[in-house]
Structure 1
Amino acid sequence: MSTHNLDSDILIVIFSFLSSSDLTSVALVNKSFNAIAVPRLYHTIYFRDSGLQKWPNLPSPFETILKRPELAIHVRCCGMSIMFLPTDELICLIITEISSLPRPPMGNRLISKFMNSCIESLSTLCSNIHTFRFIVHHPAFISILRGKKRLSKLQLSLGLDDITESDAEMLSQITGLHTLDLHQVPLGLCRRLPQWISNISDTLTTFRIRTSQHLDEALFIEMGLSRLSLLEKLAFPMDESTLRIPHFPKHNLPNLHIVGISSIPNWSEESTSGPRPGLLEPFFNSISDSPVSSIACGFANYADFVPDETISQIVRHFSLTLQRLSFTNADISEKGLTELAQFCKNLKQLTITPSPVGSPTARLTGSLSHSSSLKVLIIPPRRDQWSSILRSEGYCTTLNIKELFRCAPSIQVMVVGGKILMRDARPSLMNSYGPDNFRVLSAPINRFNLAFREKYGIETLGMD
């Protein structure tokens, strides 16, 4: 069989495994290969500002689309990370060029050419975009999102002190979104969030706010999250200044499965007037009727032990549905771990950062041995001065890892320090097969493909 009579469906499957550089090569084989490779090449476009600095004379993909408008129909996903612009003169130049005003003296012609080609191609030609990752620190790029009726997934990080009223109004009128991911939300957009959420309440399934100094409890109540009947994933930061979690009345979100809370202050930090065991309880009470399967909580500073009352509440509300629980930069006491292991029969993945207090290995082995469902244990590094103490204590030595595997027979995979440690229970020549006869296989996490991580449920939840 020659390359000319291969079925197009077969070629599409084959080409799905090729990288961009390989697709560029096979597109030159013949017309049939080119017809299938080109749509895949231009399906996703992601451009970083480093491209402007390293290869200033290299045509950008947006410039290519301007020269060949027929390629624009293939663009479905677009990502931009533009965080560096050299001069105020250039900013003035771009704004005047977009609004067709008389041009001031030319600043940086290369970057000016890129910005114009980018804005023109994405604004007028690429009308089929459904996924947009937008990380820019320049207000001129916001106009790209105008009129994108097929947009369903938007990740927006502006990095601006504020935006104009017209830009905020334009963003709030974007409808049909299934995923809305906001980072560094300026004040003008925060004021429009209730209107925006109302416009997409019939379609929104994932809503995440990473950081914003302008969020407060009143704004969360005004957004009316209880109207989001299709919401499946919810993640937001905690207000570190008031030490309050955004609270809204109890409501039923029948499809809410994944919850993430970030920037939680230290439980016992002196500035917080001692431990605050009731910090998370009001929020968990408000979603107690939802079938939550994944909870991820990230702490700003190392928080030692999560209060047992919080663990008891999680078990009380979500023991039947909880599959993944993550407390990044925090530990769980032996009592809390035992309660999770005994009552959360579907818990498959647990993420904690063990405290060096006492014997962490004995605490984990004594508690997790009660679980018959836990498959994956993830131990991320601590983010404060205790990291060196953990390393000097040798917590993650082979002996301790083997002890964890031996005492918790349900655990198949551990992720420690950027490595995946996997139980290998195949019989060797020296030992017969048995629960105590196994090897620990170790390799960097990037050596394992997506299929392996999906098999064991190794994924990032909530907010990182």
Structure 2
Amino acid sequence: MVSADNLNLDVLELICSYLSGNDLPSVALVSKSFLAGVIPRLYHTISYRIRQQKGYETGETMSPFASVITHPHLAVHVRNIEIRVVPIVKSCLHPVFVRECREALKICKNLQVFKCTVANAVAILLPSLAHKTRLQEATLYANLTTDQAAMLHKLEKLESLTIEFASWNVVDIMPAWTGSLTKTLTSLALYMINELHEDILKSILTNLPNLRGLHVVGCPKADHTVIFRQIVHTPLVETLSLTTSENTAPLTFPSPPMRHLKHLAFDTRYSMQPSPSPAILGSILAHIRLSAPPLQSFTIKLPERKVVVGDPFISQLVEHYGSTLRRLSFLDCGVSQESIAEICKNCVNLQRLDVSIPMKELLPFTRNLSLSKTLHTIVDVDNHVDHGMRPTLKQENVRYMMSVGSNLRKVVSNHRIWTGRLDPVQGVVVTLEKRRSHSYGSLWFMPRD
């Protein structure tokens, strides 16, 4: 008879790789054999978020970092660490928790990904990250002093780097730091950095000719006009995110080389009435078309939730890229039913649509979705347009959508993932899974699977 004790450890680890969440600790309690198989998966990623913080502050739970310190042999399994919150005591970062983080980081020699978006915590933890040769990806809330910023030079061989809310001290060292990352860095995201200006950005991008991903969002001195002047230094870019302002300055001509561009995201900001933004967005699409990129994914985010994306812009987008687009995302904005119909009819390879599902117009919305023969996933991007109480998407709504949409097989709404399959007797059978639909805390403009 086959039992867990008879299975090779590699087989057990492979089985456990398909488990997540609370299933992992539950399986670990079954037997010593299952525990051995679960451990690598259980400690592969350590994420610390609000839910864990509440238990720590009340003394009900210990931190996962304390567990690693107590059992240092577990550190070899840790590959990813994500810190989204730090417990507070007397308005200060909890000193015991911070010490546990720092000590655990020192012994996690195989760490590949480190993310910390907590103000004041990064500076304390940076020394523990120095010279980790396997560290490939870092996301940092980088409001640092001059001495603290100097420690960033010790983060070597990074392949992906995200800097958020950086101080001028960090901006000042970025050209020299990226110069040391020329051979390895392929993705760079600069988010909400007031001090970033064109000269610094030029110095940074000149160091990174092999960059595949460039995301400069929420940096008021580096809008779309700046990006298109400087992107000439990164001709291999495949994913690009930028902030469009109301700057009506003409774009550089000829258009910069972007023949590899596949994913494009617009963070659209405006304050003027009437705003020139619709014309500016159209001019950007026309500008990059000259490079003939095979655009597969497009995301746009508007500053006001009640605003509807203009039909002329949608028509231009579909006309230029309808044959290649596979994913479209409309965040904090609405899309007219006419535009939904145009998208589904003319984007012949569309697979996923992220849009606010109009519950009050669900029937015409679903009929428009049925015009697509390739669309298989709809993601409801929350209540961005409807006013007042919004009806909740129910199973019968999802079943209707999947019955009318011949290829629609997944609907994501909040933390609900509805999956459908076609049964020869029962018709469309819908099942519900409750879990997070995307990585917690990830930036909206970053491309996802």
TM-score, normalising length: structure 2: 0.72
Correspondence for 2:157 among 176, 183, 200: 176
Distance 1:144 1:214 in 2: 27
2:37 & 2:298 partners in 1: Cα distance?
A: 41
Name the structure 1 match of 2:8: 7
**CA distance in structure 2 between the partners assigned to 1:261 and 1:378 by the alignment:** 19
Match of residue 78, structure 1, among 77, 81, 94: 81
Aligned residue for 1:327, secondary structure, equals strand
Q: How many positions carry a matched residue from both structures?
A: 408
> What is the rounded CA distance, in whole Å, between the counterparts of 1:7 and 1:412 in structure 2?
36
Shift of 1:152: 0.7
Match of 2:47 in 1: 46
Q: Name the CA distance, whole Å, in 2 between partners of 1:151 and 1:397.
A: 43
Q: Pick one of 442, 445, 448 that aligns with 1:462.
A: 445
Counterparts of 1:424 and 1:401 in 2: how far apart (Å)?
12
Shift in Å at residue 78 of structure 1?
1.9
Task: Please show how residues 68-107 of structure 1 align to structure 2 within 5 Å.
Answer: 68-87=71-90
The within-5 A match list for 1:294-373 is 294-334=297-337, 336-353=339-356, 360=361, 364=365, 367-373=368-374
Post-superposition CA distance 1:361-417 (Å, at most 9, x none): 576467545432222233333346x4327x3xx797899878766665443444456
Partner SS for 2:350:
coil
**In 2, Cα distance between equivalents of 1:34 and 1:326:** 41
Query: What residue in structure 2 maps to residue 134 of structure 1?
Result: 116
Alignment equivalent of 2:135, drawn from 124, 148, 151:
151
Letter in 1 for 2:114: F
Task: Tell me the equivalent position of 1:211.
Answer: 192
Shift of 1:134: 1.5
Map Cα deviations across residues 1-20 of structure 1 (whole Å, 9 max, x no partner).
Answer: 56655322223223435644
Q: Hey, what does 2:381 align to over in structure 1?
A: 380
Structure 2 distance, partners of 1:280, 1:216, is 22
> Which one-letter code corresponds to 1:119 in the other structure?
R
1:101 paired residue number: none
Q: For residues 401 and 12 of structure 1, what CA distance do their matches in structure 2 show?
A: 36
2:99 corresponds to which residue?
Answer: 116
The aligned runs of 1:178-257 (5 Å cut-off) are 178-216=159-197, 219-224=200-205, 227-231=208-212, 233-238=213-218, 247-249=227-229, 251=232, 252-253=235-236, 255-256=238-239, 257=262
Query: 1:189 Cα shift?
Result: 2.1
Asked whether the 8 Å contact 1:364–1:404 carries over to 2, the reply is no
Q: Quote how far apart the aligned CAs of 1:337 are.
A: 3.6
- Do the aligned partners of residues 147 and 461 (structure 1) sit closer, same or farther apart at CA in structure 2, a change above 3 Å counting? same
CA contact (8 A) 1:44 1:76 kept: yes
The structural deviation recorded for 1:293 is 1.8
For residues 365 and 127 of structure 1, do their structure 2 counterparts lie closer, same or farther at Cα, with a shift above 3 Å needed?
A: closer
The structural deviation recorded for 1:326 is 0.4
> Contact conserved, 1:245 with 1:279, CA < 8 A, in 2?
no
- Unaligned 5+ segments in structure 2 are 240-261
- Taking the aligned partners of 1:199 and 1:193, their CA distance within structure 2 comes to 10
Indicate the larger mover: 65-74 or 167-176. 65-74
Q: For residues 310 and 153 of structure 2, what CA distance do their matches in structure 1 show?
A: 39
Aligned counterparts of 2:409 and 2:347: Cα–Cα separation in 1: 18
Contact 1:247 1:282 in 2 (8 A): no
Shift of 1:86: 3.1
Decide which of 400, 407, 411 is 2:408's aligned counterpart: 411
Report the alpha carbon displacement of residue 126 of structure 1 after superposing the two structures with TM.
Answer: 2.2
Structure 1, unpaired ranges of 5+: 92-110, 430-437, 454-458
- Does structure 1 conserve the Cα–Cα contact (< 8 Å) formed by 2:182 and 2:208? yes
Q: Residues 373 and 234 (structure 1 numbering): CA distance in 2 closer, same or farther, change over 3 Å? A: farther
Q: Is the 8 A contact 1:184 1:212 kept in 2?
A: yes
- Distance in 1, matches of 2:70 and 2:363, equals 65
Q: Which moved more, 1:168-177 or 1:125-134?
A: 168-177
Farther-moved stretch of structure 1 (292-301 vs 416-425): 416-425
What is the Cα deviation at residue 194 of structure 1? 3.9
2:265–2:299 CA contact under 8 A, matched in 1: yes
User: What is the alpha-carbon distance in structure 1 between the residues aligned to residue 101 and residue 443 of structure 2?
Assistant: 32
Residue deviations 1:275-313, cap 9 Å, x none?
A: 521343465434854433222222232253223443344
Partner secondary structure for residue 127 of structure 2: helix
- Aligned partner letter, 2:408: I
CA contact (8 A) 1:380 1:416 kept: yes
Q: Quick one: structure 1 residues 248 and 411, their matched pair in 2 at CA, closer, same or farther if it must change by over 3 Å?
A: same
Contact 2:185–2:208, Cα closer than 8 Å, also in 1: no
- Distance verdict in 2 for CA 1:198–1:206, change over 3 Å: same
Higher Rg: 1
Does structure 2 conserve the Cα–Cα contact (< 8 Å) formed by 1:255 and 1:291? Answer: no
User: Over aligned residues, Cα RMSD in angstroms?
Assistant: 4.3
The aligned counterpart of 2:434 is 446
In 2, Cα distance between equivalents of 1:23 and 1:442: 24
- Name the counterpart of 2:277: 276
Q: How far did 1:211 drift?
A: 3.4
Counterpart-to-counterpart distance in 1, 2:125 and 2:387: 41
Q: How big is the shift at 1:446? A: 1.3
Q: Relative to 1, partners in 2 of residues 1:332 and 1:218: Cα closer, same or farther, differing over 3 Å?
A: farther
Cα deviation for residue 321 of structure 1 reads 2.7
**TM-score, normalization: structure 1?**
0.70
Q: Structure 1: which amino acid aligns with 2:227?
A: H
